[in-house]
Chains A and B, each alone.
Chain A
Amino acid sequence: MLAACVPWIPAQAADDQHVLVLGRISDDPKTHYEQLKPLLDYVVPRMASVGIREGRILMARDAQQMASYLRRGRVDWVTETAASGVALEARAGAKLLLMTERDGVSRYGTVYFARRDSGLTSLDQLRGHSVAFQNVSSTSAYFVPASELLERGMRLELLLSPMDKPGDDMVGFVFARSELNIANWVHKRLVDVGAMSTLDWSNPSRVPPSYRSELRVLRTTPDYPRAVEVVRGDLDPRIEARLREVLLQAAQDPDARDALLRFFKTTRFLPMDATSEHALKRLREGVARVRAEVE
């Protein structure tokens, strides 16, 4: 009863057919709310034809919680990174609705890098060395590189700290929390290799320019979608279709520009194409492998 009185406690959205709930895995609800709300306010009036009269935002602490919300129908629409999207697809039966282009970039790859004086030139030399990933939900800096290493037959070992060393035939990995930490750790020789998205790699606030000359890129993976919009599996197909329609045409609607920009610098929504499907398929497999072999 108490929960019902508190506005942000998720209501019985699924039961309420005229409410559209936008979800987001967030550790900073306060900030993200402001980012999500304008787009929701843009979308909801345009969904009236399918009975949507109200929009709500629901944020989950982690993927498990979001998966739970999706399963229980508490959330209708979630915007997520690619890996998280496929994970929710696998865990909560969600459906990938659209690709999201942010800041003009709809796809990117993952870059592996090491110090030039580390002697490492290829991923194959990585046994007995350590790798820094970002966190467990990162697509470009965890799922993609980890799954690729596993694919190459390497066994991953979670290290206690960056100073920790892996066994000789293992590849030690550690979560650095931020791209800057990854760059720092590699540069400061705390870890041997770092992995992050091509986008972060070329961002000077993630990789200080002074480091760049001392680092060497070991490999760059093929591109994969940057972000995806996900809807719950049992969402009313009319609502799903209308939502896709509204989002796809938002890029052409001047009224939506501001809301899109606020929405994590989204520039447009794209329908899935074959390349993306393929990339997502690989990602789906990689995530499954990481789940299976590492976690």
Chain B
Amino acid sequence: MRRFRIGLQGQLLALLGLALAIFATLMLLLWSRQATMQSEVDRLSRKAMHDLVIEALRKRGETSATQLADSLANPLYYFDLDAIGSLSRAAMRQPDVQYVLVYDPQGRIIHDGTGDIPTYGQPMQDPLAYEVVRARGLHAQWTDDVVDVSSPIRLGDQRIGGVRIGFSLASVLATEERASAGLQDSLVEVGNRHRTLIAILILSLAALGIGIVLVIQRSLVGPVRRLADAAREIEAGRFGGESPVSHRNDEVGDLVRAFGRMSQSVARHDRDIRRMAYTDALTGLSNRLAFRESLDQRLLELRGVGKQLALLFADIDDFKRVNDTLGHEAGDEVLVQFSTRIREAVERLGGDDAQLARFGGDEFVILLQSPVLAGDDVRSKASRLAEHLVMELSRPIVIHDRQVFLGTSIGITLFPEDASSATMLMKNGDIAMYQAKVAGKNCYRFYSRAMDQAVERRVRMEQELRGAWERGELSVAYQPVYRLRDNRLVGAEALLRWHHPEQGMVSPAVFIDVAEQSGLIETIGPQVLRVACRDAMRWQTDFPTVEPLFVSVNVSPRQLRSGELPGLVEACLRETGLSAAQLHVELTETAVIGDELHASTLLSRLRSIGVKVWLDDFGTGFSGLSHLRRVPVDGVKIDRSFIADVLRDPDDLALTTAIISMAHSLGITVVAEGVEKEGQYAILRERGCDLAQGYWLGHPASAQDFARLLI
């Protein structure tokens, strides 16, 4: 889920909004301040006006009252109500005069300006009357709606009455109101002007803000967004997209152009890396990764379409031997030539959809698709190609002016019959190829479920073999070795036996191979060595003989390669106290062939300790006798296949005799294996073979059983 985020533009907008809000607030404050000021001005001006008006009225009232009082003195003296009335009415006709009251010294009304004087003789009782009556001079007072000015009417020093003039404030207030309204209007007009000004300012600011946002949007945010989009495209691996272009001559333009160059450079590098990642450097073919991706893609496309695929796993037989014997450069040459041949074959027979890849080492994989032509299914097409390849690759190759004969084993698996996933297809192909190897190499095999089961059995066996020693399922048996010259028991070969809890005794040929392949031999081997040494020591202790018995122990190629063998041997000898001369180490030819120099060094070390080294299964390997010159060994064990036919086949007898005489000429001991008949024994003795072992001489037995032979 994408987290909510505020972009540059958003931030800018927020900033502008904030600035605008602050400005607007300030303007509003100003506006409200102005409104307050207006009301203040209104109030003050109103008050000033009011005071002024009252003052003016008071002065005018005082003048009028004084004059009126003066005029009234005579009429009042004569009580000339008519004259008083006339004067009063005349006074009342003056603007704003609300009332005129003439009163006697006691404050009783004498005249109120009306014709019939209804209030005549009544004491004045309005709120202002008290002060009026008590006043001895000109007196002014006012309420909210009237200004009352009174003046005594005197005759000489005598106060014969008084006159009050009431000025109504109504018209004054109205005038005030009008003036105030006028002022208010002016203020409102000023306010409106200000408001317009403020509005214009705010609008201008907003317009400016929008303009800035637009400019920044155009000049910064837009390009940055386009760059980000382009960068995302590149990040997602899509280099094809158009990179942003800018003709601007500023930093953003520089950035856009730099980005364009960078994206092109990245695309170039990506292409290079891709090529490197997907191509085999040596042959120029697709590599495992490329093939694997292509296969996935192909499977995805074909799913449900009904088309078939065939996967061919080709592995050059004994390619390792080329590397070992002719060097790696020659190996590479072989690979290049092979790949050329395979490519040609595939181009000729595979069809347009065929794909070829080198899987590393000497493995090639070919992918075939069901052909367009009906009736020609992918299986027959695959077998045709495989047949051709087997034939083609068995032709000799000329390397460094030498003819090299190699073969190839091919495993074929089909989609969708054998598996639906790429992983399973490749695994199946591998299994089929392995079966081709097992079947004798230089041939091809289609994958079948049975193969799968064989592999599964092997895997299960490997699992069960793991820990078998600790569980006591593995044991060491000893087969007696006799000296032919005097028919004496001189030693024993230690043989590993596996008693499987369910399957009973398992053939060493089967489980030793598993142990070797899986590496379990590296843990089992030392145990066997140790046990053999211990048993040999016990035999010597229990049954001392003039000539101590030796024990010979098989060492696997893997053990030899590890380089720890001499140390291990020394340790076992030290632990058990067995003399080195009583321990023989048996090696197969193949163990030595891998790296002869290394093997020689190790074997020399072993021999320097005093341990004897024997070459097992001698005669079956194809390097043959030449190895005996390079590898320092103390003896050879003639393979049982020679011994088995030594009585019937004169060739085998001749070969055996030749081996014996040749070994003897080199000072090497010769041991015969698989002696099952007395005749065999006799003829070997006659030919001068040194030692022999076999069922006729004695079956392999447990340490205790073997010990009985010594009694």
A263 CB-CB contact with B under 8 Å: no
Given A180-B81, A184-B116, A185-B81, 20 more A-B residue pairs with CB atoms under 8 Å apart are: A161-B77, A161-B78, A176-B80, A176-B82, A177-B78, A178-B80, A178-B82, A181-B80, A181-B81, A181-B82, A184-B81, A184-B82, A184-B85, A184-B120, A187-B116, A188-B117, A188-B121, A205-B115, A208-B116, A210-B118
Residues of A within 8 A of B77 (CB): 161
A190 CB-CB contact with B under 8 Å: yes
Chain A nearest CB from B158 CB (Å) reads 14
How far apart sit A205 and B117, CA to CA, in the bound complex (Å)?
13
How many A-B pairs have beta carbons closer than 8 Å: the answer is: 43
B83 CB-CB contact with A under 8 Å: yes
Indicate the member of B81, B85, B121 with the most A CB atoms within 10 Å.
B81
Interface mask (A132-162 → B, CB under 8 Å = 1, otherwise 0): 0000000000000000000000000000011
Residues of B within 8 A of A161 (CB): 77-79
Q: Across the interface, do B80 and A208 meet the contact criterion of CB distance under 8 Å?
A: no
How far apart sit A210 and B79, CA to CA, in the bound complex (Å)?
21
Residues of chain B from 94 to 142 with CB closer than 8 A to chain A in the complex: 115-118, 120-121
Chain B nearest CB from A53 CB (Å) reads 43
Residues of A within 8 A of B82 (CB): 176-178, 180-181, 184
Chain B residue at minimum C-beta to C-beta distance from A211 = B116
Residues of A within 8 A of B116 (CB): 184, 187, 208, 210-211
Chain A nearest CB from B315 CB (Å) reads 149
Q: List 9 A-B contacts (CB under 8 A).
A: A163-B79, A177-B82, A177-B83, A178-B80, A178-B83, A180-B85, A181-B83, A185-B81, A188-B120
Chain B nearest CB from A127 CB (Å) reads 23
Q: Chain B contact residues: over half helix, strand or loop, or mixed?
A: loop
How far apart sit A161 and B104, CA to CA, in the bound complex (Å)?
15
How far apart sit A185 and B116, CA to CA, in the bound complex (Å)?
11
Q: Across the interface, do A162 and B79 meet the contact criterion of CB distance under 8 Å?
A: yes
Q: Across the interface, do B79 and A190 meet the contact criterion of CB distance under 8 Å?
A: yes
Residues of B within 8 A of A210 (CB): 116, 118
Interface mask (B63-89 → A, CB under 8 Å = 1, otherwise 0): 000000000000001111111010000
Residues of A within 8 A of B118 (CB): 210
Q: Across the interface, do B115 and A185 meet the contact criterion of CB distance under 8 Å?
A: no
How far apart sit A184 and B85, CA to CA, in the bound complex (Å)?
11
How far apart sit A161 and B80, CA to CA, in the bound complex (Å)?
10
How far apart sit A181 and B83, CA to CA, in the bound complex (Å)?
8
Indicate the member of A181, A185, A205 with the most B CB atoms within 10 Å.
A181
- Considering the complex of A and B, which 7 residue pairs feature the smallest CB-CB distances, nearest first? A208-B116, A178-B82, A184-B81, A181-B82, A180-B82, A210-B116, A162-B79
Residues of chain A from 241 to 283 with CB closer than 8 A to chain B in the complex: none
Q: Across the interface, do A177 and B115 meet the contact criterion of CB distance under 8 Å?
A: no
Residues of chain A from 196 to 231 with CB closer than 8 A to chain B in the complex: 205, 208, 210-211
Chain B nearest CB from A150 CB (Å) reads 24
Chain B nearest CB from A129 CB (Å) reads 17
**Chain A interface extent, by class:** 10 to 19
How far apart sit A187 and B117, CA to CA, in the bound complex (Å)?
10
Residues of B within 8 A of A211 (CB): 116
Q: Across the interface, do A185 and B85 meet the contact criterion of CB distance under 8 Å?
A: no
Chain B residue at minimum C-beta to C-beta distance from A187 = B116
How far apart sit A230 and B77, CA to CA, in the bound complex (Å)?
37
Chain B nearest CB from A76 CB (Å) reads 35
Residues of B within 8 A of A184 (CB): 81-82, 85, 116-117, 120
Interface mask (B302-327 → A, CB under 8 Å = 1, otherwise 0): 00000000000000000000000000
How far apart sit A241 and B26, CA to CA, in the bound complex (Å)?
103
How far apart sit A211 and B115, CA to CA, in the bound complex (Å)?
10
Chain A nearest CB from B486 CB (Å) reads 189
How far apart sit A230 and B118, CA to CA, in the bound complex (Å)?
43
Residues of A within 8 A of B79 (CB): 161-163, 181, 185, 190
Indicate the member of B79, B118, B121 with the most A CB atoms within 10 Å.
B79
Indicate the member of A176, A180, A208 with the most B CB atoms within 10 Å.
A180
How far apart sit A84 and B574, CA to CA, in the bound complex (Å)?
190
Q: Across the interface, do A188 and B78 meet the contact criterion of CB distance under 8 Å?
A: no
Residues of A within 8 A of B81 (CB): 180-181, 184-185, 188
Residues of A within 8 A of B78 (CB): 161, 177
Chain A nearest CB from B118 CB (Å) reads 8
Residues of B within 8 A of A205 (CB): 115
Chain A nearest CB from B83 CB (Å) reads 7
Chain B nearest CB from A286 CB (Å) reads 26
How far apart sit A177 and B120, CA to CA, in the bound complex (Å)?
19
Chain B residue at minimum C-beta to C-beta distance from A180 = B82
Residues of B within 8 A of A177 (CB): 78, 80, 82-83
Chain B nearest CB from A212 CB (Å) reads 10
How far apart sit A205 and B85, CA to CA, in the bound complex (Å)?
12
How far apart sit A211 and B83, CA to CA, in the bound complex (Å)?
19
Residues of B within 8 A of A176 (CB): 80, 82
How far apart sit A176 and B78, CA to CA, in the bound complex (Å)?
8
Chain A nearest CB from B161 CB (Å) reads 13
How far apart sit A211 and B77, CA to CA, in the bound complex (Å)?
24
Chain B nearest CB from A211 CB (Å) reads 6
How far apart sit A185 and B120, CA to CA, in the bound complex (Å)?
11
Indicate the member of A176, A188, A190 with the most B CB atoms within 10 Å.
A188
Residues of chain A from 166 to 204 with CB closer than 8 A to chain B in the complex: 176-178, 180-181, 184-185, 187-188, 190
Residues of A within 8 A of B115 (CB): 180, 205, 208
Chain A nearest CB from B122 CB (Å) reads 11
Residues of A within 8 A of B83 (CB): 177-178, 181
Chain B nearest CB from A242 CB (Å) reads 42
Chain B residue at minimum C-beta to C-beta distance from A163 = B79
Chain A residue at minimum C-beta to C-beta distance from B83 = A177
Chain B nearest CB from A198 CB (Å) reads 20
Residues of B within 8 A of A163 (CB): 79
Chain A nearest CB from B87 CB (Å) reads 13
Chain B nearest CB from A142 CB (Å) reads 16
How far apart sit A188 and B108, CA to CA, in the bound complex (Å)?
13
How far apart sit A188 and B121, CA to CA, in the bound complex (Å)?
8
Chain A nearest CB from B536 CB (Å) reads 170
Chain A nearest CB from B465 CB (Å) reads 149
Residues of B within 8 A of A188 (CB): 81, 117, 120-121
Residues of B within 8 A of A162 (CB): 79
Chain B nearest CB from A281 CB (Å) reads 33
Chain A nearest CB from B90 CB (Å) reads 15
Residues of B within 8 A of A208 (CB): 115-116
Chain B nearest CB from A207 CB (Å) reads 9
Residues of A within 8 A of B80 (CB): 176-178, 181
How far apart sit A55 and B427, CA to CA, in the bound complex (Å)?
164
Chain A residue at minimum C-beta to C-beta distance from B81 = A184
Indicate the member of A177, A184, A210, A211 with the most B CB atoms within 10 Å.
A184
Residues of B within 8 A of A185 (CB): 79, 81
Residues of B within 8 A of A181 (CB): 79-83
How far apart sit A243 and B118, CA to CA, in the bound complex (Å)?
50
How far apart sit A176 and B120, CA to CA, in the bound complex (Å)?
17
How far apart sit A176 and B79, CA to CA, in the bound complex (Å)?
8
How far apart sit A181 and B78, CA to CA, in the bound complex (Å)?
11
Chain A residue at minimum C-beta to C-beta distance from B110 = A188
Chain A nearest CB from B72 CB (Å) reads 14
Chain B residue at minimum C-beta to C-beta distance from A179 = B82
